[in-house]
A = this chain, B = another copy of it.
Amino acid sequence: MFGAIEAGGTKFVCAVGTGPEDIKTTQIPTTTPEETLEIAVGFFHKAKAPIQAIGIGSFGPIDLHLESPAFGTITSTPKPGWRNYNIAGAMAARLGIPVGFDTDVNAAAIGERRWGAAVGMRDFVYLTVGTGIGGGAVVGGNVLHGMVHPEMGHIRIPHDRVRDPFAGICPFHGDCLEGLASGPAIQARWEIVPDNLPEGHEAWALEAHYLALGLVSWICTLSPGRIIMGGGVMQQRHLLPMIRRELLELLNGYIQARDLIDNIDDYVVRPKLGNLSGILGGLVLAEAAATREQASSSNPGVRTSHQEEP
């Protein structure tokens, strides 16, 4: 039995279980770190069996390098009280069990790889389009971390100000992809919540165009074998086919991969785990942390690599 936390800026989802068929979740509003974690710890203590480890998929930016002294810390968030807060360290201290830690989108990618739309895949991207835009990537079988971790939503894309005079809402970059195409960006541009925009509204053609431009960048850079698109904005079921069409037009046959050109419906897909990708990925992170702990206690002095994964 493992525990998982999907740590978001507005809510924490906590879960105990072993997989999609056996999971119990609860939601906690994100207030102060102390208050939020106290409720989370209470939830884990009430689990019907002892929890071996927990995994946290967190909002960021975070420090996720095992060898870093600040491993487990939410770093430069503007969210009051959370800046430089070591969430993984705090949970480890309170629960006395190993804690796995990664970005929320990497957790979702890991969840989809174990049980969802990327089973057996060595190269793919999980993307969320909602309050923000973020991506997690698996490259050659390993989760991509890099120097910090990806911030895929902040790539720049072509922005035709004649077609779309909206300036974008990213406080850092204005019209980066997230500034143009996140849920709040759609809402700010059209002054209506995205859910209330009718299917035929031009907003969706523009949204599909921007997201497809993002996909082009990630395809040309990571060469993924599949892209999974989740998040609140992607709940608009008509959006995904529009993105696929726009993507093929933009690539214009340049990437000669049958999986992409002949099979776009299997190339850009929805998450198979619905909105549980991230929290289920947390269980996988927990399992990995438990395995790491066992390896290091049976081989003291041997430090396992942060690249090692289940």
Contact A152 B225 (CB under 8 A): no
Q: Chain B residues near A123: list those with CB within 8 A.
A: 145-147
Task: Flag whether A206 is at the interface (Cβ < 8 A).
Answer: no
CA distance A172 to B150 in the complex (A): 28
Q: A76-B256, A142-B140, A156-B157 are in contact. Are A149 and B222 (CB under 8 A)?
A: no
Q: Chain B residues near A257: list those with CB within 8 A.
A: 147-148
Interface magnitude class on chain A: 35 or more
Closest residue of chain B to A254 (Cβ to Cβ) is B172
CA distance A156 to B157 in the complex (A): 6
Contact B225 A173 (CB under 8 A): no
Task: Flag whether A250 is at the interface (Cβ < 8 A).
Answer: yes
Contact B157 A158 (CB under 8 A): yes
Task: Flag whether A38 is at the interface (Cβ < 8 A).
Answer: no
Chain A 89-125, CB-CB to B under 8 Å as 1, else 0, gives 0000000000000000000000000000000000100
Q: A154-B220, A216-B155, A250-B156 are in contact. Are A146 and B225 (CB under 8 A)?
A: yes
Contact B150 A223 (CB under 8 A): yes
Q: Chain B residues near A250: list those with CB within 8 A.
A: 156, 173
CA distance A151 to B221 in the complex (A): 6
Would you give 23 A-B contacts (Cβ < 8 Å), ordered by A?
Answer: A61-B256, A139-B140, A140-B142, A142-B142, A144-B222, A144-B223, A145-B223, A147-B223, A147-B259, A147-B260, A150-B220, A150-B222, A151-B223, A151-B254, A151-B255, A152-B220, A155-B217, A156-B213, A156-B216, A158-B159, A158-B175, A221-B221, A222-B222
